[in-house]
Structure 1
């Protein structure tokens, strides 16, 4: 599912990157954390606008690598009705969108990262509806890598963001960069 998401968004030209537990999984092994059912990605604000304008409720049929050409999986891109809103309009704090495996119901949550023009931290502060706050210089420029064997992107200051969210001990459990 993650490979299909990353490959499709790359083909569509939508800027997306690993976040939270997915980013920690990349740090530790280059893969989704074992048993993780809460995969989360971030998307640029222009990316969420493009998805809302052209791809909301689109079903993508993706060929399964290593299988006959006839073996495909279907994924639906579903955006929240609040996806384009800058403010936290949804009291439940829902994701801006989901990439849903139509056979299993498993999904990837997507959160748009936007400049927060009223943040007390001043210029360059960004936030998303899951409560994450970042300085633009910590996210950008995004760095190219691979995750689950396909091209992916990660924040510029990955280590610092992971330490702030999970603590330094989480990064010492092993990993690519620990």
Structure 2
């Protein structure tokens, strides 16, 4: 026990803290020039003032800049299974953590847990990040990741990603064991420093090592590449101020991104861009927020869920007949005779209710106090716990619902 206390004394302890209402990021954080960094470190080397850590950093920058970014293949690779070439179910599982195919509901459980772990880790260590793209589109509808989405899309400034790489690359992050058994591997691609040949357009991943599912992390940079223009040679409307882009050439203006702001996604505290509606319409089309049929699913607004067309292509009852009983519980008939849909509704209803309460206007949320409101409970069983219960006949296979209250920071 004495040895354990001595070992723990070698680690810096950082308490879990609440996310902020909004975060103003300096424009300089979107600028990273490896040549300038290398020059400054070489000056220190010549003056014999360079530290051992800086020397390692210099060697990395020189090797990556001169040998990797323009010549290497994609850094984050997918497992290629011959029998899976058409459906591609394995293509969104990180190699080498692929062990088996992941069911839809297990994937949703992993995403429900991993998003909390990432934003807690980032906030405690002072890194600004936010969800965007498909994850933000899912948030816009009901505050959740879309049920068919195989990952979560996160962005952050390039200079902060550089600091993340220097301090935490290849770190194993443990989920709070009160809430689950998640173990997450943070890895930053050595090609993050500049655009390069364009093959490695994902800069980092936060991987659930038990399933191989992950959060994709893309760095946004302001570079000398001019932003796109319309057919008349004018800048696209959303790029009228300082513009930044990822390595997959998704462009944003700092005016639409900053300051990033707090919201709830999967019931957990996260950050999103300042503006939501116009950027989503720009990326996904004018009907992005009104298209209720997508990817073999239909959005049923009375239960705030995307429902697989094979379960029911339309809500089963008209407006004159309710899907709910007198206790406001979704009935089996109201759930298209699907116990799974009933379970899903129980899982998401508090998340969707909060989302609609706070975000009637997606760009102008209702005022709320983060500390008072707090994160919602964990509503999806940890996958490890779920399969333990199934193997020991403690639960049915259509029951992923659980309720684990979140203990507030400092309590």
Q: State the TM-score, normalized to the length of structure 1.
A: 0.87
Distance 1:105 1:141 in 2: 32
Distance 1:102 1:6 in 2: 18
SS in structure 1 opposite 2:287? helix
Give me the CA root mean square deviation.
2.0
Distance 1:108 1:97 in 2: 8
Query: As a proportion of its length, which structure holds more helix?
Result: 2
Residue 81 (structure 1) aligned with residue 190 (structure 2): yes
2:85 is aligned to none
Higher relative contact order (CA 8 A, sep 6+): 1
Cα distance, 1:117 vs. partner?
3.1
Q: Give unpaired runs (5+ residues) of structure 1.
A: none
SS in structure 1 opposite 2:224? coil
Moved over 4 A (4+): 120-123, 174-178
Classify 1:129/1:166 alpha carbon distance in 2 versus 1 (closer, same or farther; 3 Å).
same
1:7 is aligned to 120
Q: State the TM-score, normalized to the length of structure 2.
A: 0.39
Distance 1:65 1:170 in 2: 38
1:31-82 deviations in Å (ceiling 9; x for gaps):
111121032110112220111110000001112554xxxx531101000011
1:9-158 matches, within 5 Å, as 9-66=122-179, 71-83=180-192, 85-86=193-194, 88-120=195-227, 124-158=242-276
Cα distance, 1:90 vs. partner?
4.4
SS in structure 1 opposite 2:288? helix
Distance 1:50 1:133 in 2: 23
Larger CA Rg, structure 1 vs 2: 2
Cα distance, 1:164 vs. partner?
0.4
Cα distance, 1:152 vs. partner?
1.1
SS in structure 1 opposite 2:182? strand
CA contact (8 A) 1:43 1:113 kept: yes
Cα distance, 1:165 vs. partner?
0.8
Q: How many residues align?
A: 172
Cα distance, 1:148 vs. partner?
1.3
